[in-house]
Amino acid sequence: MATAAAQRTARTPADGAPDTVDTAAYQHAFDAAVAADERIEPRDWMPDAYRATLVRQIAQHAHSEIIGMQPEANWITRAPSLRRKAILMAKVQDEAGHGLYLYSAAETLGTSRDELLDKLHAGRQKYSSIFNYPTLTWADVGAIGWLVDGAAITNQVPLCRCSYGPYARAMVRICKEESFHQRQGYELLLALSKGTPEQHAMAQDAVDRWWWPSLMMFGPPDDESQHSAQSMEWKIKRHSNDELRQRFVDICVPQAESLGLTLPDPELRWNEERGQHDFGPIDWTEFWEVLKGNGPCNEQRITQRRRAHDEGAWVREAAAAYAAKHTGDTGETGATRA
Amino acid sequence: MSTTDWPLWEVFVRSRRGLSHTHAGSLHAPDAELALRNARDLYTRRGEGVSIWVVPAAAITASSPDEKDPFFEPAADKPYRHPTFYEIPEGVKHL
């Protein structure tokens, strides 16, 4: 989580200082800390590119949590029982919380929440392409929990050891909460799979649609991944995209069997020699198209996000007016980030 | 105070009676009361706490990482503050 407040307000003297001797010394200390698996904290000197990479990644992560509320919230009013409804509401609320933890972590790097939201709304920062797919049936809520949250967990567990302290601490908290998300999805799919033939078919259809986009969540193949090598050197990332994707496939195959559902890949089979599953080629054209904004729901997601922000303006204004009227100087004593 | 740029608050949570409050994270809120309520919703959704403190972030003064070594240096050459500094003959008990 974000570290002590004051830490984010100040920057080291090295920031913007043209003294190359000092910069070299700071760089050396930074490299040594990373090499020793120590954590970098907000007030420590860090290379500009490291800071920029973290802001980009944490912002994209935060935006994904917030946009990710939409496809699932789509089913809250139509959940088939009060139990399922309460679970789904708790899950969507968690996603909002995860977004806030991550925005806090990003803010420790010297950016502001308003700036991040503006960039999201303007399409200048991305969110995970997975959330541009529609939730067509109730079974999609299960498939998202099992596959999408499952892929997210596979990605996020190593991030708990990320070299940047506030990000790593946010991930610890998120991973703890995430496991309920995956289990509720699995349980939901299992209930459908064991239900009527129609329910079983609905579960299978959802898995068929979400499987490939879930594999794409790990990002492009290693040889096409723009930031991977540098991020691994900085220990922001601990495993390559393809490594994590393979791990996820190997985890899912037996889980699908227990569900009584199949994964939509005719080439999926155990490879004795590798001790891993072989799987078919991923349609990267689709991935890049969705990323560029041409997915089924890109327009809808960002329009809805902007509308929610605009329609919430009066709440923010009222709260600020109330604070100014009743607590006098609170706004000043709790001054904004420098 | 602008309507969107709410002040930042640091949140400390006591997980149960007998333990100290521990830093949990931060959030934005227009005033202390809303900061408390938001902290409850954000950091104690699963019963993680029995008490919360919220502190205006700007009220915290932190030591500088650059001065870390000189700042804490005075303790470094005082090993005699540790019980292991002292040699006691073998067999002496309750010491």
CATH number of the domain enclosing B55: 3.10.20.520
Residue A22 has a pLDDT of 81
Average pLDDT of adjacent 10-residue blocks, chain A of 338 residues: 41 49 88 95 94 96 97 96 96 96 96 94 94 97 97 95 96 91 96 98 98 96 87 93 97 97 97 96 95 94 96 93 75 44
pLDDT in tens, B4-28: 678 999 999 999 999 999 999 999 9
Q: How far apart are CA A2 and CA A12, in angstroms?
A: 18
pLDDT in tens, B20-72: 999 999 999 999 999 999 999 999 999 999 999 999 999 999 888 777 778 88
Task: Please count the CA atoms within 13 angstroms of the CA of B64 that sit on its side-chain side.
Answer: 9
DSSP-assigned beta bridge partners for residue B53 = B12
Residue A337 has a pLDDT of 44
Residue A170's CB: how many other CB atoms inside 10 A?
30
CA end-to-end distance (rounded Å), chain A: 19
In a domain, B45, yes or no: yes
Predicted ipTM? 0.80
In a domain, B15, yes or no: yes
What pTM, to 2 d.p., does this model score? 0.87
Q: Check if the beta carbon of residue A103 is closer than 8 Å to that of residue A62.
A: yes
As a residue count, chain A comes to 338
Residue with more model confidence, B76 or A255: A255
In a domain, B55, yes or no: yes
> What single-letter DSSP state applies at residue A282?
P
Q: In sequence order, what are the residues at sequence separation of 6 or more whose Cβ sits closer than 8 angstroms to the Cβ of residue A250?
A: A276, A277
Residue A265 has a pLDDT of 97
H helices, E strands: number in chain B: 2, 3
Residue A130 has a pLDDT of 96
Q: In sequence order, what are the residues at sequence separation of 6 or more whose Cβ sits closer than 8 angstroms to the Cβ of residue B42?
A: A97, A100, A101, B11, B25, B27
Q: Which residues of B touch A324 (CB under 8 A)?
A: 1
- Closest by CA position to A64, among listed A292, A305, A233: A305
Ramachandran region of residue A16, left (φ > 0), alpha (ψ -120 to 50) or beta? Answer: left
Q: How far apart are CA A314 and CA B27, in angstroms?
A: 20
Interface touch A5/B3, C-beta < 8 Å: no
Interface touch B25/A330, C-beta < 8 Å: no
Compute the nearest-CA separation of A2 from chain B (Å).
Answer: 5
Q: How far apart are CA A202 and CA B87, in angstroms?
A: 75
Of A97, A336, A337, the CB nearest to B45: A97
Range of the domain at B37: 6-62
Of A2, A41, A173, the CB nearest to B26: A2
Element (DSSP H or E) covering residue A56: helix A48-67
The Cα diameter of chain B in Å comes to: 71
Q: Check if the beta carbon of residue A142 is closer than 8 Å to that of residue A203.
A: yes
DSSP-assigned beta bridge partners for residue B23 = B12
Indicate if the pLDDT at residue B79 is higher than 80. Answer: yes
Secondary structure (3-state) at B54? strand
- The Cα angle at residue A142 between residues A126 and A94, in degrees rounded to 5: 55
Q: Which residues of A touch B23 (CB under 8 A)?
A: 1, 3-4
Q: Which residues of B touch A2 (CB under 8 A)?
A: 10, 25-26
Of B5, B7, B60, the CB nearest to A4: B60
Q: How far apart are CA A79 and CA A83, in angstroms?
A: 9
Residue B95 has a pLDDT of 83
DSSP-assigned beta bridge partners for residue B54 = B11
Does residue A317 belong to the interface with chain B, where contact is any CB pair within 8 Å? yes
Two structure tokens written together for A83: 């139990």
Compute the nearest-CA separation of A328 from chain B (Å).
Answer: 10
In a domain, B13, yes or no: yes
Count: domains in chain B: 1
Residue A328 has a pLDDT of 60
Residue A197's CB: how many other CB atoms inside 10 A?
7
